[in-house]
Amino acid sequence: MTDTKKKKIHWGPAWGEAKDLIWRHRKRLSIGLGLMLISRSAGFVLPYSSKIFMDEIIPNKNMELLQQLVMIVGITTVIQAITTYALSQIMSVAAQRAIMDMRKSVQQHITRLPTSFFDETKSGVLISRIMTDPEGIRNLVGTGLTQMIGGILTASVAFAYLLYLNWTMTLIILFVLAVFGGGMAYAFNRLRPIFRKRGEINADVTGRLNESLGGVRVVKAYTAEKREDILFAEGVHKLFRNVASSITGVSAITAFSTVIIGGIGILVMTLGGNAVMQEPGTSGYMTLGDLISYLLFTGLVVAPLVNMANIGTQITDAFAGLDRIREIKQTPTEGQQQEGMESLGQLNGDISFENVTFEYDEGVPVLKNISFEAKAGTTTALVGSSGSGKSTLIGLVMAFHYPKSGRILIDGRDLTNIPLKDYRSHLGVVMQDNFLFEGTIADNIRYSKPHATIEEIRRVGLVSHVAEFVDQFEDGYDTIVGERGVKLSGGQRQRVAIARAILANPDILILDEATASLDSESEAKIQDGLETLREGRTSFIIAHRLSTIQSADQILVVEHGEIVERGSHTELLELDGRYKQLYDKQYKFEMNRFINPGEEIAIPEA
């Protein structure tokens, strides 16, 4: 069953999106269509006038009629030129607007997807969904579709006229054209998956490129340039093979159309020549003028059909892009999963876990049967080995994930029934690797409160000890931090993140190894700031240095996804269990450092 569902997502044409798009742009599209009709009707004048030219003007030496005809042809040519120009102007602008709209809507959807989605999908892939795939719709809303419709209309009218001129010849030609059409349909069915695949390959290659450029220091440190070269080369070769195979397809179509056009030429010459040479008055007789306009009108039937081969490719491309976009859009966003939920209003900050179990991957439990209560305004510390599930537990508090079983209650209300937007606005978080955005230090602090004044920023900068290093920079708070904050040290980034969290003034504060990148001295300094910050807020702290958590109201010791001990610092020391063990180990280490102060070695993991 999942198989058929998958298939549908992969191959089903994105009619819904296409219809939506066309409907939204119906005004421009109908103006375009109107212009197209004028332009195409004007296009009939020249081929038709050649009949009058051959049959009326030349034999009768009718100069007056010639003048009139020249006038009419001149005027219609101008009309055609103007409408064609206006058409592509109006339609191309419309198409670019549609591309912009589509990019916006895909971006909005993607940023609102659940965090688990981002664990599974490469960012390069997502960037390509947002930036590249919408380009295809240019051909749907742009000149592509109107040209196709215009082509069909022109071809039909011209075809009717051909039938009127010589129906037997026309039916034979129709048969040839039908063969051509069948060939085309077949070819496009073959090409569509190739185009689809191209988008995927492109996304893969850009994604990896993005990573290897972002991680250029790691690449260089391990002299992995060659390996990255090979990975990239493989990617672009794949892309090349894909493009090459579609070029083969497209050129086969072109060759096929050439043959068809030639074949029709031969048919018209034989059958048409025969008709002209008949006695006038017999059935099937054509004048020379008839034959010439027949030839020109055949062009009007065939040219749009051949053109459609081109447009068909483009529209195929457009659909492939829309297909991929639709796939993303079918993934419900966090908001969509929560429509109709009652909003949160005031938050008190009582958090409790009731038998919470969680797993990232089916059958690999990461948290098992976690129950605890964090009363509003209290601090809960989590300690335990690395990989024991502390960050995961906190991820559940932040509603990045939901429990597999059990409940998380916020002020007694199940978190699964609370609108995330409401809830998250009460959170403040500092993590081990804090993400800074390209921009100034002030911008990065202000990220949690976009309209904060510089005075507010300075105030939180003092508490978080950002001020200390900012003062050493020439540009102060206006110092540019570089992409992902590369121009700051880990400890400096962490202090900026702390300042950001303080500025947010959150009801629930989460510090996940928030001071891990700081040396003990800076940490001690920031400690006061953080303790003040914790007052009156429900706080969660994960810290390897046990000195930072001694004042917590409760300490939960997590091992292998379970709470193995709980209590206050003194209670846990008395218990003489895992916590005591960790404490002793660290105590010895700190003592050692005290004795040999020169040695700044990494702090062992708690």
Helical segments of 282-419, H only = 288-330, 390-397
Minimum Å gap between C-beta 431 and ligand ADP is 10
- Which of 124/561 has CB closer to ligand ADP? 561
In the list ligand ADP, Mg ion, none, the entry touching 284 (Cβ below 5 to 8 angstroms by class) is none
Residue 366 contacts ligand ADP per CB under 6 A = yes
Strand partners, 567: 555
Q: In whole angstroms, what is the distance from residue 285 CA to residue 291 CA?
A: 10
- Which of 378/388 has CB closer to ligand ADP? 388
278-317: contacts with ligand ADP (CB under 6 A): none
Residue of 391, 494, 522, 586 interacting with ligand ADP (CB under 6 A)? 391
Length of the chain as a residue count = 606
Which H or E run contains 429? strand 427-430
Minimum Å gap between C-beta 144 and ligand ADP is 42
Q: In whole angstroms, what is the distance from residue 428 CA to residue 401 CA?
A: 17
Residue 207 contacts ligand ADP per CB under 6 A = no
Tell me which stretch binds ligand ADP (CB under 6 A): 49-57, 70-78, 209-217, 358-366: 358-366
10-69: contacts with Mg ion (CB under 5 A): none
- Which of 205/427 has CB closer to Mg ion? 427
Residue 434 contacts Mg ion per CB under 5 A = no
Strands 508-512, 538-542: pairing is: parallel
In the list Mg ion, ligand ADP, none, the entry touching 571 (Cβ below 5 to 8 angstroms by class) is none
Q: In whole angstroms, what is the distance from residue 316 CA to residue 169 CA?
A: 33
Minimum Å gap between C-beta 390 and Mg ion is 5
Q: Are 490 and 515 in contact (CB under 8 A)?
A: no
In the list ligand ADP, Mg ion, none, the entry touching 604 (Cβ below 5 to 8 angstroms by class) is none
- Which of 309/542 has CB closer to Mg ion? 542
Q: Are 176 and 53 in contact (CB under 8 A)?
A: no
Tell me which stretch binds Mg ion (CB under 5 A): 127-135, 285-293, 385-393, 582-590: 385-393
Mapped to the 3 state alphabet, what secondary structure does 126-159 carry?
A: HHHHHHCHHHHHHHHHCHHHHHHHHHHHHHHHHH
Minimum Å gap between C-beta 196 and ligand ADP is 28
Cβ neighbours around 559 below 10 Å, total: 15
First to last CA, the chain: 47
Q: In whole angstroms, what is the distance from residue 244 CA to residue 235 CA?
A: 14
Cβ neighbours around 102 below 10 Å, total: 22
Residue 136 contacts ligand ADP per CB under 6 A = no
Minimum Å gap between C-beta 353 and ligand ADP is 14
- Which of 76/391 has CB closer to Mg ion? 391
Q: Find all residues with CB under 8 Å of 345, minimum gap 6, and list them.
A: 422
- Which of 291/381 has CB closer to Mg ion? 381
Mapped to the 3 state alphabet, what secondary structure does 228-251 carry?
A: HHHHHHHHHHHHHHHHHHHHHHHH
Residue 390 contacts ligand ADP per CB under 6 A = yes
- Which of 59/387 has CB closer to ligand ADP? 387
Q: What is the gyration radius of the CA atoms in the chain, in angstroms? A: 36
Interface with ligand ADP (CB under 6 A), residue total 12
217-246: contacts with Mg ion (CB under 5 A): none
| Ramachandran bin of 142, using left for φ above 0, alpha for ψ from -120 to 50, beta for the remaining angles | beta
Residue of 386, 416, 425, 489 interacting with ligand ADP (CB under 6 A)? 386
Minimum Å gap between C-beta 433 and ligand ADP is 12
In the list Mg ion, ligand ADP, none, the entry touching 586 (Cβ below 5 to 8 angstroms by class) is none
Residue of 144, 389, 428, 529 interacting with ligand ADP (CB under 6 A)? 389
Residue of 119, 414, 438, 600 interacting with ligand ADP (CB under 6 A)? 119
Residue 391 contacts Mg ion per CB under 5 A = yes
Strands 562-567, 554-559: pairing is: antiparallel
Residue 444 contacts ligand ADP per CB under 6 A = no
Q: Which two tokens stand for residue 341?
A: 């939920």
Q: In whole angstroms, what is the distance from residue 544 CA to residue 565 CA?
A: 16
Q: In whole angstroms, what is the distance from residue 413 CA to residue 426 CA?
A: 15
Which residue in the shown chain puts its C-beta closest to Mg ion?
391
- Which of 351/431 has CB closer to ligand ADP? 431
Q: Are 287 and 145 in contact (CB under 8 A)?
A: no
- Which of 124/384 has CB closer to Mg ion? 384
Minimum Å gap between C-beta 356 and Mg ion is 17
In the list Mg ion, ligand ADP, none, the entry touching 389 (Cβ below 5 to 8 angstroms by class) is ligand ADP
What are φ and ψ of residue 61, in 5° steps?
Answer: 50, 45
Q: Are 147 and 36 in contact (CB under 8 A)?
A: yes
Minimum Å gap between C-beta 512 and Mg ion is 6
Tell me which stretch binds ligand ADP (CB under 6 A): 59-67, 208-216, 384-392, 419-427: 384-392
- Which of 391/444 has CB closer to ligand ADP? 391
Strand partners, 554: 380
Angle between helices 26-52 and 15-24 (to 10 degrees): 80
AA letter at 509? L
Q: In whole angstroms, what is the distance from residue 208 CA to residue 466 CA?
A: 34
Tell me which stretch binds ligand ADP (CB under 6 A): 138-146, 386-394, 521-529, 585-593: 386-394
Angle between helices 26-52 and 288-330 (to 10 degrees): 170
Angle between helices 63-111 and 143-165 (to 10 degrees): 140
- Which of 359/422 has CB closer to Mg ion? 359
Residue 392 contacts ligand ADP per CB under 6 A = yes
Q: Find all residues with CB under 8 Å of 584, minimum gap 6, and list them.
A: none
- Which of 29/383 has CB closer to ligand ADP? 383
Minimum Å gap between C-beta 365 and ligand ADP is 10
Interface with Mg ion (CB under 5 A), residue total 1
Residue 387 contacts ligand ADP per CB under 6 A = yes
* Residue entry with tokens 């390069």: 124
In the list Mg ion, ligand ADP, none, the entry touching 392 (Cβ below 5 to 8 angstroms by class) is ligand ADP
Give the binding site for Mg ion (CB under 5 A).
391
| Interface residue list for ligand ADP (CB under 6 A) | 119, 360-361, 366, 384, 386-392
